[in-house]
Chains A and B, each alone.
Chain A
Amino acid sequence: MNRIILRSLAICLLLPTMGLFAHDHNGMGVHEYQLKNGLKILVKEDHRAPVVASEIWYRVGSSYEPGGLTGISHVLEHMMFKGTKKYGSGEFSEIISKLGGRENAFTSYDYTGYFQLLERSHLETSFKLEADRMRNLLLTEEEFKKEIEVVKEERRLRTEDNPSALTYERFVAAAYVSSPYHQPIIGWMDDLNHLTIQDIELWYDQWYAPNNATLVVVGDVQPEQVFKLAKKYFGRIKSRELPAIKPQREVPPIGERRIKVRVPAKVPILMMGYQVPVLTTAEKEWEPYALTVLAAVLDGGASARLAKELIRGEQIAASAGAGYNIAARMNSLFMFDAVPAPGKTVAEVEDAIQQQIVRLQKEPVSPAELARIKAQVRAEDVYQQDSIYYQARLLGSLDSVGLDYRLIDSYADRIEQVTAEQVRQVAVKYLVSERLTSAILEPISLSTQTNKKDKS
C-alpha cells in the first residue's frame, strides 16, 4: 500500500508547481562527504524529534532504459526486497518493521530511491541492510515470476484502468519524440511481459554501485557519526565502471502535435505541454526561474489566474492547472491540464487557456502577483522544514539529476529577482505552437450493471 502512495509522489515531484524547494536563507546546513569508492553522503541535522530519515538514491530510472526494457528500473526496485545472500526474501522489511520503522522505495524518470524512517538509534541497521543489498542481491527466477505479476497488477491498477493516467501516458509518449522521457516509468505491458531475470541481473550489475549512489540522511543525528557509520558499512563496496550515458536529447520541435485517447470514461480531459529547458539544460540561467514564476502566476493557489479566470470567473473549467518541473536531467514540459465545466467543451477550455497565454505574452504580470508569489516562496521555505522526509526527498532529487543541492539556498532569491518582463519573455519564447503537444481524453460510453444477492 505504502509503495503506491510513495511512487505517485515520485511522479508528482517531476511536475511540481511552486513548492519544490525548501530554501533556507541561513543555509541548508547540509554536510557533504564522499567515500573513496565514490558514494556521496549528504547529512542534514533536524533535532525536533528523535527520528531519522535514511535514503539511498541510485542515478538510474526509466529515462536510462533502452527500448524493450522499459519498466526495468521499477521492477528491480521491487526485487530489491526479495533477499540477499545474507537475508531471506522479505527479511529486510521484517527487520525494519520490528524496529518500528517505515520503509519504502520509489522509481522515477531519473532515479530510484529506497528509504527508512526510524527512531534515531536505528540508523546503523538501515546502513547495514542497504549496503548489503547494494551488492549482494539474490535474484531468483522463482521470486521474479511472482513479482513481475505484482508489477503487472500495479500497471493495471495505475494505468490501464485509469482513463486520465492512460491519457497522460499517451500524452507523454507523444510529447517526447527522441528523449527517453517518452517512456512510462512503469514500462509498457509488452515489455513487462518479456522481461527476464537475466535482464534484471544485468541492470543491477550495471547501475547499483557506490559511485552511482547518494546517501541522504536527515534527522536527529550528528553528521560526523553518520559519516563514520556510512564508511563502516558502505566503504567496503568497490566502485564500478558505469555505462556511458548517451545524451538522447529531444529533437527540436517543428510543429504542433495532437492526440486523442478514446476509452470508456465519463470526464473529458485536456492536457497541453510545451517543450522547455530546465536548470540542467538552460542556456540562460534565469529562464527556468522565470518559467517557475510563470507557472505560479497561472497556478500558484486559489488567487492564481487559472483558478480566478477559468474556474471562478468564466466558469469554463471544473479544474485547471499548470506546472513546470525545474529539476530534471533533460528538457521537460511546461504543462497545462484541465477538465471542462459541465456544458463546456474541451475546445472552449483550450481557447480560454490560449487566451491566458496570449495575455502573458502581451502584458507584464502585475506587481501584486509577483509580490504574492514571493510571499508564498518565503512561507514555503518554512513550511517545508516541517517534514524531515520531504527535506531528504528534496536533497536526493536535486542531486540525482545532477544539480547542486546548494541551489536551495539561492532559490528564493532567484525567484524574487525574476522580473515581469522576464516572465513575458519566456511566455513569448516557449509557449508557442511549435513546441506544443496536446492530448484530449474523449470518453466513449461506459456502461455498468449491478447484481446483488444475499448468500445464505
Chain B
Amino acid sequence: MSRNQLNLMRRLITLICLVFSGQIFALAAIEEWRTSNGMKVLFVAAPELPMVDFRMVFHAGSSRDGERLGLSLMTSALIADGTEKLTADEVAQGFESLGAEFYSSADRDSAVVGLRSLTDAKLLKPSIALTQQLLSAPAFPQSGFARVRQQTLVAIQAKQQSPAAIAGIELMSALYPDHPYGLPKEGTEETLMALSPVELKNFYHRYYVAKNGVLAIVGNLTSQEAQQFAQQLADSLQSGQAASPIAAPIPVSSAQEIHVDFPSTQTHIFVAQLGMAMNDPDYFPLYVGNHVLGGGGFISRLMEEVRSKRGLSYSVYSYFQPMQQTGPFLVGLQTKNNQVEEAKEAVETTLSKFLTEGPKQEELEASKQNITGGFPLRLDSNRKIVDYLAQIAFYQLPLDYLETFNEKVEAVTIADVKRAFRRLDVNKMLTVTVGGKQ
C-alpha cells in the first residue's frame, strides 16, 4: 500500500536522513589514518563476506546552500550523471554490469557518496576506477540538471499532499527562524529556477574535497588494501579546505502554535523545541531519558498513555535528533480530527509529568537493559557498522565511542536525566498541527 508512495519518493530524489537513533558500536578494531591529501579514514575489516562498503561523508549539506536553496541536494543528485568523457547511461551501465551499487545523497549537515562492491578484484578494481573518474570530474550537464530540477519540483509537490511532510516543514521553519536548518532542503520553485549547473560544479569543487570529508570502509580487505583504495578515492578529490562550522541556532523564546488546515481525516501533531547537538555533554542522559519517555517503542510512556491506554494514535514517539548544531527534540503522533484536543492533552500531561518527576527507577533500569542488552544488534551487519563508522568520523566522536557506550548508558542516573531535561520547557513548546476540521 505504501509501496508506491515509497517508490515514488525514492525515485524522485534521493533524500537521505542521517537520523541515527543512537550512536554506538563496539567493534573489533577501528583503524584510523589520513590520506596524503588530508582525508580522514576509518576502517574495520570484515572478512566473512566477499564484499566491501565505502562511504564518504562531506560537510556539504543543505546548510551550506546560503540563499541558493536546493544547491546541495541538486549537486548530490547529479554526481552520477556523467563526466566529461562518460554519459550518465555509461556510468550507470558501468557500475551495474559490475554488480556494484553507487549512491549519493544529502541532508542538512552532510552529503554522502557511497560504493558497495564485491571484493573480487575483477569487479572491485573497475568499480573503484569508475568512482574515481566520477569524483574527479563530474560533468553536471545541462540536460541532467534540467531533469533533476523537474524531478525536485515534483518531489516538492508530493510533500504538499502529505500532512506529515507539511507538518515537518512548518516545524523546522518555526524552530529555526534565522538558521539554515529552518530552510527547505530541496529549495523552492523560485530558488530552483534561479540555479545553474555551473553553481553546482562550484559547490562540488568547494565542498567535495579531501579535507572537508571523511571516509568509512567496512569489508573484506586487508589494511593495506583499504589504505590503497582510500588513497585512490581521496586522490580523485582536490585537497581543499574544511568548511567553517555552521552557526548555532538561537532558541525561540515563547510558545507558538501553528495550524494548517488540510483535507485529511487525521491531524498530525508535533510538539517540539530545540534539543541537542551531536557533541552535547548530556548526550547520554538525554538519550536514555528519552528512551523512557518516547524512544523505547512499546515500553515507552507516550506509547502507553496515548496508544495502549487510549487508542488515540497508531504511532506516537519522541526523539532528539542530534545534529552538528542543536537539532530538534520532538513528540509526534497522528489522530482522527475530532480527537486532537484529547491527544494533545495526553501528550502535554505525559511530557510535563516526565519533566517534573523524571523517570522512575524501574523505568530507567528497563530502558538501560534494553539499550545495553541490544548492543550486539547495532553492529550485526556491515551496513550498520559502516553507518556508525561514518557517523563517528563525521561528527568527530571518540574512537572508543562504541567500546564505552554501554558504560556511559549504565552511568546515567535519575538526577542526570532530570537535570539534562531541564532544557525543555513545556511552556515554551512549539505545537504544529496539520489536518482537517475538528
Point out residues on A near B: beta carbons under 8 Å: 1-2, 4, 8, 11-12, 15, 48-51, 81, 89-90, 93-94, 97-102, 117-119, 145-154, 156-165, 167-169, 184-186, 264-267, 269, 271, 300-303, 307-308, 311-312, 315, 318-321, 337, 339, 341-343, 368, 371-372, 375-376, 378-380, 382-383, 385-388, 443, 446-456
Contact (Cβ within 8 A) B4 A164: yes
Contact (Cβ within 8 A) A97 B298: yes
Contact (Cβ within 8 A) A90 B97: no
Q: In chain B, residues 285-308, which have Cβ atoms closer than 8 Å to a Cβ of chain A?
A: 296-299, 304, 307-308
Contact (Cβ within 8 A) A387 B51: no
A2–B300 Cα distance when bound, in Å, is: 13
A447–B160 Cα distance when bound, in Å, is: 10
A315–B263 Cα distance when bound, in Å, is: 32
Contact (Cβ within 8 A) A321 B11: yes
A454–B297 Cα distance when bound, in Å, is: 32
Known: A303-B96, A311-B147, A318-B12. A162 touches B257 (CB 8 A): no
**Nearest-neighbor residue (CB-CB) of B264 within chain A:** A161
Encoded as 1 (CB less than 8 Å from any A CB) or 0, chain B from 300 to 337 comes to 00001001111111110100000000000000001110
What distance in Å separates the Cβ of B395 from its nearest Cβ neighbour in chain A? 24
**Interface pairs (7), CB distance under 8 Å:** A146-B311, A163-B161, A312-B147, A318-B12, A379-B118, A388-B381, A455-B255
Q: Is B29 an interface residue (CB 8 A)?
A: no
Within the complex, which residue of A11, A449, A452 is in contact with B257, where a contact is CB–CB below 8 Å?
A452
List of A residues within 8 angstroms of B4 by Cβ: 164-165, 167-168, 269, 271, 337
Contact (Cβ within 8 A) A302 B161: no
List of B residues within 8 angstroms of A303 by Cβ: 89, 92-93, 95-97
List of A residues within 8 angstroms of B88 by Cβ: 302, 312
List of B residues within 8 angstroms of A169 by Cβ: 1
Contact (Cβ within 8 A) B370 A100: yes
Closest 4 interchain pairs by CB?
Answer: A100-B373, A379-B99, A100-B374, A319-B11
Contact (Cβ within 8 A) A102 B374: yes
Q: Is B397 an interface residue (CB 8 A)?
A: no
Q: Is B3 an interface residue (CB 8 A)?
A: yes
List of B residues within 8 angstroms of A302 by Cβ: 80, 88, 92, 95-96
A338–B216 Cα distance when bound, in Å, is: 35
Known: A184-B1, A454-B255. A164 touches B8 (CB 8 A): yes
Within the complex, which residue of A15, A312, A319 is in contact with B12, where a contact is CB–CB below 8 Å?
A319
Q: How many A-B residue pairs lie within 8 Å, measured between CB atoms?
A: 285
Contact (Cβ within 8 A) B317 A1: yes
A186–B1 Cα distance when bound, in Å, is: 9
What distance in Å separates the Cβ of A115 from its nearest Cβ neighbour in chain B? 12
A117–B312 Cα distance when bound, in Å, is: 28
Known: A102-B377, A165-B4, A455-B256. A153 touches B266 (CB 8 A): yes
Within the complex, which residue of A4, A376, A387 is in contact with B381, where a contact is CB–CB below 8 Å?
A387
List of A residues within 8 angstroms of B137 by Cβ: none
Within the complex, which residue of B51, B265, B373 is in contact with A156, where a contact is CB–CB below 8 Å?
B265
Known: A264-B161, A341-B150, A453-B256. A153 touches B312 (CB 8 A): yes
Contact (Cβ within 8 A) B373 A318: no
Known: A11-B1, A160-B265, A301-B96. A342 touches B374 (CB 8 A): no
Known: A162-B2, A315-B147. A267 touches B373 (CB 8 A): no
Point out residues on B near A: beta carbons under 8 Å: 1-8, 11-12, 46, 48-51, 80, 88-89, 92-93, 95-101, 116-118, 123, 143-144, 146-147, 150-151, 153-154, 157-158, 160-163, 166, 170, 174, 254-266, 296-299, 304, 307-315, 317, 334-336, 366, 369-377, 379-383
Known: A51-B377, A163-B161, A450-B258. A315 touches B92 (CB 8 A): no
What distance in Å separates the Cβ of B266 from its nearest Cβ neighbour in chain A? 5
A93–B303 Cα distance when bound, in Å, is: 12
What distance in Å separates the Cβ of A309 from its nearest Cβ neighbour in chain B? 10
List of A residues within 8 angstroms of B5 by Cβ: 162, 164-165
List of A residues within 8 angstroms of B259 by Cβ: 450-451
What distance in Å separates the Cβ of B14 from its nearest Cβ neighbour in chain A? 11
**Nearest-neighbor residue (CB-CB) of B160 within chain A:** A266
**Nearest-neighbor residue (CB-CB) of B89 within chain A:** A308
What distance in Å separates the Cβ of A176 from its nearest Cβ neighbour in chain B? 14
List of A residues within 8 angstroms of B304 by Cβ: 90
What distance in Å separates the Cβ of A247 from its nearest Cβ neighbour in chain B? 25
Contact (Cβ within 8 A) B170 A450: yes
Contact (Cβ within 8 A) A386 B49: yes
Contact (Cβ within 8 A) B373 A119: yes
Contact (Cβ within 8 A) A11 B3: yes
Within the complex, which residue of A102, A371, A386 is in contact with B382, where a contact is CB–CB below 8 Å?
A386
A280–B204 Cα distance when bound, in Å, is: 51
List of B residues within 8 angstroms of A159 by Cβ: 1
What distance in Å separates the Cβ of B79 from its nearest Cβ neighbour in chain A? 12
Known: A93-B298, A165-B4, A453-B257. A101 touches B150 (CB 8 A): no
Contact (Cβ within 8 A) B377 A100: yes
Contact (Cβ within 8 A) B315 A4: yes
A301–B266 Cα distance when bound, in Å, is: 36
A454–B372 Cα distance when bound, in Å, is: 41
A302–B369 Cα distance when bound, in Å, is: 44
Find the residue from B4, B371, B374, B379 having the highest chain A CB count within 10 A.
Answer: B4
Contact (Cβ within 8 A) A456 B254: yes
What distance in Å separates the Cβ of B303 from its nearest Cβ neighbour in chain A? 9
A135–B143 Cα distance when bound, in Å, is: 62
Contact (Cβ within 8 A) B8 A319: yes
A81–B303 Cα distance when bound, in Å, is: 13
**Nearest-neighbor residue (CB-CB) of B381 within chain A:** A386
A156–B164 Cα distance when bound, in Å, is: 12
List of B residues within 8 angstroms of A12 by Cβ: 3, 6
What distance in Å separates the Cβ of B70 from its nearest Cβ neighbour in chain A? 15
Find the residue from A97, A152, A443 having the highest chain B CB count within 10 A.
Answer: A97
Contact (Cβ within 8 A) A119 B154: no
List of B residues within 8 angstroms of A385 by Cβ: 49
List of A residues within 8 angstroms of B379 by Cβ: 49
Known: A15-B3, A303-B96, A372-B97. A100 touches B375 (CB 8 A): yes
A99–B376 Cα distance when bound, in Å, is: 12
Contact (Cβ within 8 A) B308 A161: no
Contact (Cβ within 8 A) B161 A446: yes
A165–B50 Cα distance when bound, in Å, is: 38
**Nearest-neighbor residue (CB-CB) of B429 within chain A:** A455
